[in-house]
Structure formats: C-alpha cells, structure tokens
Structure 1
Amino acid sequence: MKKAGLKSLDFAALWRGLTRPDPAGTDRVVPPTGFTAQLTVFSAGAMAFLAVFALALALATGRLAERWSTELAQTVTVRVSAPADQLDEQTAAVMEALKTTPGIAEAKILPDDQVEKLLEPWFGPDVPVEALPVPRLIEVVEGDEGFDAEALRLRLQGEAPGAVLDDHTRWRQPLVSAANRLRVLGLFSLLLIAATAGAMITLAAKAALAANGQVIRVLRLIGARDITIATAFVRRFTRRAAMGAAGGTVLGLLAVWALPSVDQAGGFLTGLGFQGWGWLWPLLIPVAAAAIGFGATRWAALRMLREVR
C-alpha cells in the first residue's frame, strides 16, 4: 500500500507539473536523461556543425561567382605573337587600333614582371621572360557602353595578323557557372541537414513517448489532454535541439575561423568562410534547430498520441 501511495503521489506531482503556468514544470513528464536526450543533443550538434560548413560554402562560392563575373566581365586581353623583328611593330599597330576603337576605356601593355607572375604557377619563380618566346600581352578595359568584339577581331586580323583578342568568355563563363552550382549545392545541403535533424528528433521523440507510455495512460485517466502531454515533450526536445545546435555552431565557427587564409594556402583556397556581417548568419542555426525540434516533436507527439488510445 505504501508503494502504491508513493506512485500515486508521483503521478499527482507530474499532473501538477503539466497544469501549472510555469513552463519549466510542464515537461517533467519527459525523462531528463537517457539515450533520447543524448541522441537529440548529439544529432542537433552534429547537424549544426555541418550546417556551418554548408553555409560557409554557399556564401564563399556566391562571393567567388560575383567576383569573377564583375571583375573579369570588363577585362579583355590581346595577345600579340609575332617574330622578334615584327613584335614591336605589330604591338604598336594593336595599340593604335585599340585607342581608336569606341567603347574601350584603357589599354596598356603588361610589363615583364607581371607576365612573370602570370607564368610563375607553371614555370616557377624567376622565369626568364626575356629569354622565352612569350607573347606580348595587352590588357584592355572596356567602358560602360562596351565595344564590338567581333569587329575588333576583324580589324586586328588585317592590321596585326599576330594579335588575338581574348575576352575570357570561354573560360570565365564555365567558372562562374561552376561557382553558382556549388552555391546551389551548399543551399541544398542545408535543406538535407535540416531534414536529417528533423528525422532524428522525430525518432527520439517517438522513443521517449513509447518509453513513457504508462505515464501517458495514467495522465489521460486523470484528465490530461493530448495537447498538454504533447506540449511537455515539445518544450523539452526543443530546448535539447537548441542547446545541441548552439554547441555545434560554436565548434563549426571555430573550425571555419581556424582555416588557413588564401595567402597561407598558396592560393588554393578561394576564401572559404565568412566575411563581415556574414559571421552573423550562423547564429540563425540554433534558432532554426529549435524551430525544427518544435515542429518535429509536436507532429510526432500528436500523431503518436492519436494512434495510442
């Protein structure tokens, strides 16, 4: 009889916790520890950690595509390849043609030191540019109104047969397209991460509901509504998801911050990470995780409570 009385008192305490106005007491029906709590916190933290990198990838590739599109869109190169005795003459003809072409704002011959830097990734430092048959490079900056590239090509063919106009379209457009696709891939990864986190939290909520089936039945006998019982699980799992996501976000930000810069990586990286106000975007990840936990737990709890009568 004593044990039965203690059990009755326990259930009465649970009912008071469910019906009191203080939100901190309404979720006492959910066990504070156990594998469901660990699973929720770990899955939310892991998904938040991956979400930081997916967000960093999306933002970095977006900046990369914009930079390639804007910086190279108005830059054109003229390459002059001719015998040594004709190189200066054809270069002068090209410069004269560029000066009289409408839509060209500036044209300048690249000095040997800049050409050496362009060749350094392939030939290494200290390239003897003067000893190699390197074409003369002329950098052209077009004006806001642009110019007729096809007409300029035809003119250069007649006045300087060794000159080739390169507007970078052949290799710039595929790079911009690849960067945009990487950005879409990063955003799609965020959706997959959110869906996976929701599935894991749903499984954990269902496991907690199944483990507390006897408690739920007694609460129903004493008049608890399904929405009240579900609210207890929703609040507990929402907090767990938010706490786990906050920890994973902090670890992800530290990992991104520890990545080497572009200069330290020898130019291999393209600035993967956050810049300026972009560091504030990951702060939305714990908020999104809490919203996912709220929606997933509420859906799972109400559906399971309707099925179990």
Structure 2
Amino acid sequence: MKRGELRSLDIAALWRGLSRPDPTGIDRVVPPTGFTAQLTVFAAAAMAFLAVFALALALATGRLAERWSSELAQTVTVRISAPPDQIEQQVATVMQVLQTTPGIAESRQIPDADVEKLLEPWFGPDVPVEVLPIPRLIEVTETGDGIDADALRLRLQGEAPGAILDDHTRWREPLVRAASRLRLLGLFSLVLIAAASAAMITLAAKAALAANGQVIRVLRLIGSRDITIATAFVRRFTQRAALGALLGSVLGMVAIWALPTVDEAGGFLTGLGFQGWGWLWPLLIPLVAAAIGFWATRSAALRMLREVR
C-alpha cells in the first residue's frame, strides 16, 4: 500500500475513533491529569486569549482603513491665510468659487468652536482661537463624481491667493497604508499563535507517549493496533485543546468587552473590538484549536509509534 493511501486510512480511522465513544477503555492509557494535561489546557487557553486580541486588532484596523479610505476620500479642506483686513473678503470669495464648482455637494466654514476642539489635544481646553493667527477652514463635501482638484487649485490661486486646497491625499494614504499593515500584522500573529499552539501540543503529546512507552508495548503484545493507540491520545489532546481554547476565548471576549469606548478614552482609541456579527468570529477559535490539536497529536503519535517497537 502506498504511503499516501496509508495516511488517508490513518486519518479516516482516527476520525471514526474520535466521533464515537471508546468501548475498549483504551483512553485510560492517556493520563487524565498531570503535567501534560495541565500544559495542554493552559497553552491552548493562553494562545486562544492572544488570538482573540489579534483577531480584534485585524478586524478593527480593517474597519479603520476602510473608513479612512471612504470618508476622507469624499472631503477636502480649503485653508485660508490672509491679513486680518482681507480674511473675510477672501472667505466670501472662496465660498462663491466653491458654489460654482461642479462636483461639490456642500461647503461650509468650520466654526471657531469646532476649531477649538481640533486644537484641544495639543493646546488644552479653552484655546483662545480669536487671538491666535489660525487660518479659516472651509470643509468641502464632494459628490459621487468628485472634483477636478488641479483646476480648483488654479482658480483659487487666481481669485483668492491666500486659499490653499488640501485633498488629504498627503496624509490619508500613509494612514490607510499603516492601517492595512496593522491588519496584516494581526493576521500574521494569528498564524504564529496557531504554529506555537501546534508545537506546544506536539511536545505535550510526545511527553505523554514517552511516559507510557511500557504500556504501549503491552498493548501491542495483546493485539492493539497503532491506530487504536494513537486514537486514544488524539482524542484526549483534541478535547484538552478545545476546552482550553474555549476558556481562553471566553476570557478574551470578556476582556475586549471591558475595554473603554472611544468616548470614554477621550477619542484616542480606534475602536479595538468586535461589532455586530463580528462577535461570532472568536467562537471559531476553539474549533481551530481542536483541529490543530488533532493534527499535531496525530502526527506526533504516529511518528513515535513507528519509532517505538
């Protein structure tokens, strides 16, 4: 029989052994408590806890990149800097230019109170906006077709020399790129967590197999097949991985839920957490942990059973 066919039979036999009760009681070969049991449950719980945060980071930065890309792409700002005796005239001129520019849905001058809020993180509350040389800001909302930014810049330069059009491209693109990279970092962290979990479960399974080497030899003498012995270890370690991951996932979800909201944190958080149906994603972590436990234990058990004769 070819090696690939043998592996397929091993997987099928292991799956049948996992999906039905153990009538032979061979599961008792694997110690239900002890160092390996505690190590498997703890490692799975810790990795699942970290996986919840990595998943929350990936989802939150994905939402952030999408929001920055969509919202900021539809708005531009006109900044007007001029001598005090000319500032009002240039503001009126800019507003007139914007009203006659195709592709603009709405334009409004940002009030001093809103400017004060924008400057509050740097200058503190009660900023004396009226005595500072702060330029006037006009917020422009584009239509779906958008505007010709270059043509509008030339027109503003000719009619209001103190007006500068800022379409946010200079700082929007780096922010979106940074958010996208953070999302990739979160996904890469999930891969590392899965790999570390597999390595830890493999070590625990090998330790359990090594500790029960004499029992395994006796089972072979009385006619037990390697696949039957391996099923006992796979069953126990898969259950432990799933149980630990379920515990870690629940704790991680509680920790995410307990995080302060954006308003409570003064607006400095980006909304780390889950929203709506996104809370269902962490529930997949125990299933993934069980699959990792299955494959890691299967690989370790069959390899060691071939070596121990």
User: What count of residue pairs does the alignment treat as equivalent?
Assistant: 292
Deviation at 1:250? 1.3
CA distance in 1, matches of 2:25, 2:180: 49
Counterparts of 1:75-154 in structure 2, within 5 Å, are 75-154=75-154
Deviation at 1:57? 0.7
CA distance in 2, matches of 1:205, 1:300: 7
CA distance in 2, matches of 1:233, 1:50: 26
Distance change in 2, residues 1:96/1:24 (3 Å) = farther
TM-score (normalizing by structure 2)? 0.91
- Percentage of matched positions with identical amino acids: 82
CA distance in 1, matches of 2:281, 2:23: 29
Deviation at 1:24? 8.8
Distance change in 2, residues 1:52/1:23 (3 Å) = farther
CA distance in 2, matches of 1:283, 1:234: 22
Task: Tell me what 1:27 maps to.
Answer: 27
Root mean square deviation of aligned Cα: 1.7
Deviation at 1:22? 3.5
Task: Tell me what 1:300 maps to.
Answer: 300
Distance change in 2, residues 1:100/1:206 (3 Å) = same
CA-to-partner distance for each residue in 1:82-136, whole Å, 9 max, x for gaps? 0111111111111111111111111111111111111211222122222222111
CA distance in 2, matches of 1:22, 1:215: 18
CA distance in 2, matches of 1:38, 1:22: 22
Task: Tell me what 1:225 maps to.
Answer: 225
Task: Tell me what 2:275 maps to.
Answer: 275
CA distance in 1, matches of 2:24, 2:279: 32
Task: Tell me what 1:51 maps to.
Answer: 51
Supply the AA of the counterpart residue of 1:98.
Answer: L
Give the SS at the match of 2:125: coil
TM-score (normalizing by structure 1)? 0.91
CA distance in 1, matches of 2:78, 2:214: 81
CA distance in 1, matches of 2:224, 2:171: 67
CA distance in 1, matches of 2:87, 2:259: 46
Distance change in 2, residues 1:130/1:23 (3 Å) = farther
Task: Tell me what 1:38 maps to.
Answer: 38
CA-to-partner distance for each residue in 1:13-63, whole Å, 9 max, x for gaps? xxxx99x96469341211111111111011101101111111111111111
CA distance in 2, matches of 1:132, 1:31: 74
Q: Which runs of 5+ in 2 are unaligned?
A: 1-16
CA distance in 2, matches of 1:60, 1:123: 29
Give the SS at the match of 1:164: strand
Supply the AA of the counterpart residue of 1:135.
Answer: P
CA distance in 2, matches of 1:60, 1:24: 49
Deviation at 1:218? 1.0
Give the SS at the match of 2:27: coil
Supply the AA of the counterpart residue of 1:123.
Answer: F
CA distance in 2, matches of 1:92, 1:238: 71
Task: Tell me what 1:5 maps to.
Answer: none
Give the SS at the match of 2:270: coil
Give the SS at the match of 1:83: coil
Give the SS at the match of 2:223: coil
Task: Tell me what 1:216 maps to.
Answer: 216
Give the SS at the match of 1:205: helix
Deviation at 1:281? 0.7
CA distance in 1, matches of 2:123, 2:206: 62
CA distance in 2, matches of 1:143, 1:297: 58
Task: Tell me what 1:10 maps to.
Answer: none
The question of 1:173 aligning with 2:173 is answered yes
Looking at CA atoms only, which structure, 1 or 2, has the larger radius of gyration?
1
CA distance in 1, matches of 2:268, 2:98: 35
